[in-house]
Amino acid sequence: MATRIETLASILRAAPGSVFIQAHDVPDPDAIASAFGLRHLLSSYGVESTIVYEREFEKIDAQRMVELLGIELSLASDVPTIGPDDWAVIIDGQRGNANMVDLACREVAAIDHHALRDDAAYRYADIRPEVGSCAAMIAEYFAEAGMAPPGLVATALMYGIFVDTDNLTRGVSDLDARMFYELRAWADADLIRKLRGSQITLRDLAMYAEALGKVETHGRLAFLGLRDADDSLVGAANDLVQSVDEVDVSLSYSLREDGIKLSTRSLVEAVRADELAKAIVDGIGFAGGHAHMGGGFIPATALPPGEPAEALVKRRAVAYIEGLGL
């Protein structure tokens, strides 16, 4: 029986043009690592590919990861040759997602650990929402093929798993744990330590300090408001709030000129982080995620008049939690 990578490579060999691996916009370490590993695998099976993404990195560890591990990837807008004869494999996302720019090529495959979209249609799809990281799925591709990942690829995949599962504590599956420890045989521990020490900047720290002094709570639900923070900073700040002993569910948000960015976290089964995000943006925005981690966005043009944006976000969050009887 053919392995997953054999099946995917056999499909991509028929591409009439070039093959691209598309990571989601503002790629995080999990997306970068997964694309890096997949490109190496495809090359081993005779399929050359180029990694593309849209919008620059927001977190410093993603930038350091690319620099330290020598990962080659390009902004899609800087690749003028992408056209209808080219094929793309979407990694750590799916066609139609709000954080996935629509390229001019044909998306023939998707490898993702988020829920399968209702409108999904691919020649190859490996969608496993039960897995905590996409990097663990790509690591399994190496194991299935009986291939040892090169040291830098193993390092990237191990760090990708580490970040997306919050050091194997959030949404972690058996596959994440197994691949994390199997990758240790090839990964560079010194590089992992360097990446762990490059997760925020002094500017980020100053913003955290200001925002954390204004955390509000409603029972065991916490709110953290930021001003003009990028997507990654909103999520990272929320992780800090989630570590507070009196908090089970947390919501961080950033008020920006273009709208409101949301990040949700949950430590309890009674509250799904993705469903909380969807309830907040219902009818005026979009959201998604997992049981323990979610996110969303409300465009400024969709905000209803007459109610301050912060008040709207908090009211909807409280209403959802109370609707669950909590």
- Output the six-digit token pair for 273: 């982080």
User: What average pLDDT does the chain have?
Assistant: 91
How would you label 225-249 residue by residue, b for 16+ Cβ within 10 Å and e otherwise?
bbeebbbbbbbbbbeebbeeeebbb
Instruction: With cut-offs at 50, 70 and 90, classify the pLDDT of residue 58.
Output: low
Predicted TM-score (pTM) of this structure:
0.82
Residue 230 or 265, more confident: 265
Count each helix (H run) and each strand (E run) in the chain, helices first: 11, 12
State yes or no: pLDDT of 207 exceeds 80: no
Residue-wise pLDDT tens digits, 136-147: 999 999 999 999
pLDDT at 62 over 90: no
Q: Give backbone dihedrals phi and psi of 177, rounded to 5 degrees, phi first.
A: -65, -45
Q: What pLDDT, in 10s, does the model give residues 252-276?
A: 999 988 899 999 999 999 999 999 9
- Would you say residue 183 has pLDDT above 70? yes
Place of tokens 């209803």: 304
Q: What domains are there in the chain, each with its CATH number?
A: 4-196 (3.90.1640.10), 202-323 (3.10.310.40)
Phi and psi (nearest 5°) for 87?
Answer: -115, 150
